[in-house]
A and B are shown apart, each in its own frame.
Chain A
């Protein structure tokens, strides 16, 4: 999985391979009010993990900052779907994903939360949505 950065409408674009990303996986990207870039994405060979990674806030100025070490938020034995990411104005991070029950044909929405820029994550809720 590649992350594309551009600050000039693709006149110059930098491609970065996200660590431990799964082939065919999905990612959600959001920009924090502090200028950090946050990504939640699929990891694991069976898309069975959700990872988080942060691009520090000085990148837009230096163009040289490196990604932080990725954090595995959750790992499961089944495929996890639709990773999503949201950031509040005070930089509290929320990551969501769904897990499909193929017998009941329902989806469960899982929410995790971080209050320290994604270094640590706590489980918040598990809700059947459909």
Chain B
């Protein structure tokens, strides 16, 4: 499934959507860090084959979505759903994902997404 990013310059009244990724990408979630960097986390895998796993990946843009970084793997070998992202005021990035068995997993990065740490599994 493709991932589109919508951008509005008039407080949401009108929108312009641009394709960011085209392939097996699902469950995108978006956040902006305190320095204005735009982050998108998603699950990269084959949704139609439930026997397979994929990766949680993250990309960013420093020019409001005009260009995007290469993907960094947050976690590999995950059958994921419903990725989420939240960024602390100090820039620490948190990513959550529901694994196939309905456990919630949490990951964080303290170096602007360069390296990722598994923190907790709940459920």
A-side residues, CB < 8 A to B, are: 4, 9-10, 13, 26-31, 33, 35, 84, 86, 92, 94, 96, 109, 111, 113, 124-125, 127, 129-130
Count contacts on B: residues with CB < 8 A to the other chain: 26
Main secondary structure of the interface of A (DSSP, over half): strand
In the complex, B109 has a CB within 8 A of chain A: no
Contacts A31-B88, A31-B89, A35-B89 given; indicate if A9 touches B108 (C-beta within 8 A): yes
Q: How far is the CB of A95 from chain B (nearest CB, A)?
A: 10
Q: How far is the CB of B66 from chain A (nearest CB, A)?
A: 19
- Pick the residue among A28, A29, A125 that contacts B13 (CB under 8 A): A125
* Structural contact, A26 and B86, CB atoms closer than 8 A: no
In the complex, B59 has a CB within 8 A of chain A: no
11 residue pairs from A and B, CB less than 8 Å apart? A9-B120, A10-B119, A26-B82, A30-B86, A31-B86, A33-B89, A35-B89, A111-B12, A125-B14, A127-B15, A129-B17
- Pick the residue among A29, A86, A130 that contacts B4 (CB under 8 A): A130
Q: CA of A96 to CA of B7 in the docked complex: distance in angstroms?
A: 13
* Structural contact, B4 and A10, CB atoms closer than 8 A: no
How many Cβ-Cβ contacts under 8 Å join chain A to chain B?
Answer: 56
The 8 closest A-B pairs by CB, nearest first: A111-B12, A124-B12, A10-B120, A127-B15, A29-B86, A125-B13, A125-B12, A129-B17
* Structural contact, A30 and B31, CB atoms closer than 8 A: yes
In the complex, B87 has a CB within 8 A of chain A: yes
Given contacts A84-B29, A125-B13, 16 further A-B contacts (CB under 8 A): A4-B122, A10-B106, A10-B119, A10-B120, A27-B84, A29-B86, A30-B86, A86-B30, A96-B12, A109-B6, A113-B12, A125-B12, A127-B6, A129-B6, A129-B15, A130-B4
